[in-house]
Structure 1
């Protein structure tokens, strides 16, 4: 009976476990491989590479149940895979990403400096709305604002907030957010991701300038 009682508690209590050294190394490896695919592979090769990485991320989630960081990266990788596939074939992947990110937020909304909010907000911004998908600009704004509250100086939180503002044609605000993103402190071990994100920022600044000219 004691064992059954413990299992029933597990079903309802949001236990959160910390990654051990091996888990942290696995997380770092996923981050590095994601950046290599996103920023170094040709576009036509990204879908297959993200598919393999998504399988590894799911195995990581199963290896560390009740831990938010693997779920966040499972969500990020599935989102990126969806972006690489495009079209209707992406819908199942963005729904899977959404589920992973929501589960991570239930475990620890502040994990990885609020990355679940950033990623889920971006999904709400980029996925088509009803009846095709779950896209919702108002929900995107709420999520991205919360991400900024948790990580006000982060490169990703400010970049994706700027991207949202750009989509809303709020160009001066977007420009301000992008310049703040450029001032973000470097992330140790994520130099390639930082370099790629800075290129994304430059591209969005250029797009804003073209809209305003």
Structure 2
């Protein structure tokens, strides 16, 4: 049944890419990503993200000057890398960084600074040199930029709180995680918001 749902969802995304408006395509990508990330069993996510990444590649090719498409290419590739794991994920996170940096050159304000938030999350989660490009200073710079653009958003507050937690700054981490938990719902993003709040509650539970 899960596989059938995934096939139907990907078929819907293909149809939108061929004939829908850009905003409809964007919402389809966002909702499909949330379905994979938060509703599929962990063992099914890698293949599902691989399929979604292929869909998004075509979407970006059709919309090369739309930073929103590049942002979501970066998000899909980075979560695909997380599902894949191991050394095979390193090329995916490099592709994700390239897409997000390209989005920044077009419009750093797009999707309320999501390119900064996603880049920042990559910089603190991937290994550092010589394996990859992880860099805590770059992570903080991008995460702070995301917060300046969208100070009340769920994602920039979550990622900065998670970054602080990784740095061992538990008290400041709690402040940003609680702010993320109280962030307003995003239209059309109910699954993503619910999944993110579960992640936030898990981090907060670890602080108690």
Same fold per TM (> 0.5)?
Answer: yes
1:47 counterpart residue number: 46
Question: Retained in 2: the 8 A contact 1:78–1:93?
Answer: yes
Partner Cα separation in structure 1 for residue 49 and residue 206 of structure 2: 27
- State how 1:64-143 maps to structure 2 within 5 Å: 64-143=63-142
The answer to whether the 8 A contact 1:166-1:208 is kept is no
1:140-198 per-residue CA deviation (whole Å, 9 max, x = no partner) reads 00100000000000000100000000000000000010111111111010011000000
| Aligned partner of residue 66 in structure 1, secondary structure | coil
Equivalenced residue count is 190
Confirm whether residue 169 of structure 1 aligns to residue 145 of structure 2.
no
Q: TM-score, normalised by structure 1?
A: 0.88
Q: Deviations over 1:87-139 (max 9, x none)?
A: 10100000000000000000000000000000000000000000000000011
CA–CA separation in structure 1 for the residues paired with 2:82 and 2:54: 16
Q: 2: CA distance between counterparts of 1:107 and 1:58? A: 18
- Structure 1 unaligned blocks of 5 or more: 1-19
Supply the distance in 1 between the matched residues of 2:89 and 2:207 (Cα, whole angstroms).
27
Deviations 1:38-75 (A, max 9, x none): 00001110000000000111111011111100000000
Could you tell me how far 1:21 is from its partner in structure 2?
Answer: 6.3
Q: Distance in 2 between matches of 1:84 and 1:207?
A: 23
What is the distance in 2 between the residues matched to 1:177 and 1:21? 37
- The SS at the match of 2:21 is helix
**Unaligned 5+ residue runs, structure 2?**
1-18
Distance 1:140 1:208 in 2: 22
State the 4+ residue runs in structure 1 displaced beyond 6 angstroms: none
Q: CA deviation at 1:208?
A: 2.2
Q: Which residue of 1 aligns with 2:16?
A: none
The residue number in structure 2 matching 1:204 is 203
Contact residue 101 and residue 119 of structure 1 kept, 8 A: yes
Match of residue 10 from structure 1: none
Q: Give the TM-score taking structure 2 as reference length.
A: 0.90
Per the alignment, residue 155 of structure 2 pairs with 156
What is the CA distance between 1:206 and its match in structure 2? Answer: 1.4
Residue in 2 that maps onto 1:36: 35
